Structure 1
Amino acid sequence: MPRRRWIRIAALLVLIWLGWQVAQRLVILQPSRQVSVTPLNYGVPFSESWLDAPAGGATRAGRVHVWWLPAPSAAAPAVLYLHGNESTLSTDIGLILSLRQAGFAVMAIDYRGYGQGALRLPSETSVYIDARLAWAHFLSQTPQASRRLLYGHSMGSAIAIELARKAPRLDALVVDGAFTSAADVARYMTSDWLPFSRLLRQQFLSQDKIEELKMPQLFIHCTADEVIPVALGMRLYGLSTAPKRQLLIEGGDHDHCYRAAPEPWRKALRQIGGLEAG
């Protein structure tokens, strides 16, 4: 075969490979730009800020958008909330406000590429970097907090689990709609058809990390979750060796466990946050 043809074939293969890397970042992370409401729309005071994030994981440098909803008391427990894919601060405002109403000071972020964050295509590496930046900022805002929690929803659960491995002064971990790995979710969503699941670069391997975490943990999952099957959340729960509790909420969808059973959800959060005995 002529050398020129080999070069063309090689170039085509490189383009296919690059296209696959971009495609899986779009499909798995699914960055949303929706921004419509803030806590002020609900009469809740808050402040916002921006954190400069360096380049990482094929994502260019950009800014992380931060909301901070303080509690009346500086000694109140505080939680850093990490949302999932196809979400933003605005789309998850109901959950964020519910955490605040449960008695917590709340910090929440939009990773690069989400919401008002600079228009970047995020990656697994970049969202991990953004979460670490947010945790450092969170600690600076909560010097007197009685407890500090991480709450990750959906993809945010995997980000929270990764962050919890190295986050100083973390007292408890809450994961909502969690999963074992991105490949397991892909196999579920494609009925085991997707052969490329083994080639995923955006892996989110929570199953390989959860066992090393020893802080108290709360696992929340709706039994009718149409995105992340409850079986994946239960499998991850079974791998944890820490003090733990599982809250399975009958019915409810992937994004609204807190609304499907507000009182059990609130009570479980207040207990792990030290606001109620349990």
Structure 2
Amino acid sequence: MPLKSLFSALADRVRGRTRTLAVSSTLISVVAAVGCGQLGQKERELTFRVEPGTASWYNGLPHGLVESNLPVQAKGRTEHIHTWWWPARQKDAPAVLYLHGARWNLTGHLFRIEQLRDFGFSVLAIDYRGFGKSDGDYPSEKTVYEDARVAWEYLSRLQPDAGKRFIYGHSLGGAVAIDLASRLAQASEESAAGGLIVESSFSSLPDVARALSYPWLPVQLLMSQRFDSAAKIRRVNVPVLIVHGDADHFIPSHLSEKLYAAAPGKKKLIVVPGGTHNNSMRLGHAEYRQAFADLFGT
């Protein structure tokens, strides 16, 4: 579930000085890959790190959750995005589009989807193309943005009230959520969102790479998958909730603070004491509920 950058993935999860040295040596491999014209594919593989199959902790679909597939056009053919739709117990409840991060498909995210539904949301969750039961090869920054837009159109039909539609993104999915929200800010009112929720995410992928390696390395020159959330969030025109655990060892919480500083308008930052990359919603559930009331009126 947690996102690692291209550099930390190649470092094979080594810690301390050994990890830093491995990250440094990785740059040599990356530069060599550039020379061989192979960087694009390798970078996508190491950015998304798709784990095939079912997560070991997945115990099956809960009652009432409906699976379906959404068509999307890709290079002259139709591909499909696999979706989960789990209506809330309350009729006409607010609905949220759940956008997951790297590595695990939907089966690895059910626990967080359950938490959002316990907050009172109906939840539409998708696997980007290349993940889980969705079609396609390895995803890219471009294709995950496309998939989020297709899913949002579908959610707009499931919940026609724009004020009751929200976007949630975890980790890398936070960057996808911010891209979607920034695009919706330029679209019609009918496609608008009621708010944006970003958890355990970052200001940009090069910022993550720098945070996990030497800050002076010119990683931005080597990365094509950039996910520049700090630039895009400036265009978001809905209330924004940003959450991060202060014990997140995969993405430093100061990158969410940078996101928060860049966000205009009504916003709130929650830094969860003891929160890791994956448990901030559970540990900070009271703060989440209060923020929903303060920011979104839910």
TM-score, normalisation: structure 1? 0.85
Q: How far apart are residue 26 of structure 1 and its match?
A: 1.1
Aligned twin of 2:260? 237
Further displaced range: 252-261 or 139-148: 139-148
Q: 1:84 aligns with which of 87, 98, 101?
A: 101
Q: How far apart are residue 15 of structure 1 and its match?
A: 7.7
Secondary structure, aligned partner of 2:106: coil
Aligned twin of 2:38? 19
Partner Cα distance (2:73, 2:130) in 1: 13
Matched ranges for 1:1-278 at <5 A: 16-36=35-55, 41=60, 43-55=62-74, 62-144=79-161, 147-167=164-184, 168-192=191-215, 195-269=218-292, 271-275=294-298
Partner Cα distance (1:37, 1:149) in 2: 29
Secondary structure, aligned partner of 2:107: coil
Q: Indicate if the aligned counterparts of 2:81 and 2:127 stay in contact, CA closer than 8 A.
A: yes
Secondary structure, aligned partner of 1:99: helix
Q: Indicate if the aligned counterparts of 2:57 and 2:108 stay in contact, CA closer than 8 A.
A: no
Gaps of 5+ in 2: 1-31, 185-190
Partner Cα distance (1:266, 1:87) in 2: 26
Q: Indicate if the aligned counterparts of 2:70 and 2:80 stay in contact, CA closer than 8 A.
A: yes
Alignment RMSD (CA, Å): 2.6
Q: Indicate if the aligned counterparts of 1:152 and 1:159 stay in contact, CA closer than 8 A.
A: yes
Gaps of 5+ in 1: 1-12
TM-score, normalisation: structure 2? 0.80
Secondary structure, aligned partner of 1:149: strand
Letter in 2 for 1:261: G
Q: How far apart are residue 178 of structure 1 and its match?
A: 1.9
Secondary structure, aligned partner of 2:268: strand
Q: In the TM superposition, what whole-angstrom CA distance separates every residue of 1:112-137 from its partner, at most 9, and x where no partner exists? A: 11122225111000000000000001
Further displaced range: 111-120 or 126-135: 111-120
Q: Indicate if the aligned counterparts of 2:66 and 2:86 stay in contact, CA closer than 8 A.
A: yes
Q: Indicate if the aligned counterparts of 2:175 and 2:201 stay in contact, CA closer than 8 A.
A: yes
Bigger radius of gyration: 1
Q: Indicate if the aligned counterparts of 1:77 and 1:274 stay in contact, CA closer than 8 A.
A: no
Letter in 2 for 1:182: L
Report how many aligned residue pairs link the two structures: 261
Q: How far apart are residue 17 of structure 1 and its match?
A: 4.6
> Identity, % of aligned pairs?
35
Q: In the TM superposition, what whole-angstrom CA distance separates every residue of 1:66-92 from its partner, at most 9, and x where no partner exists? A: 000011333211100100111221111
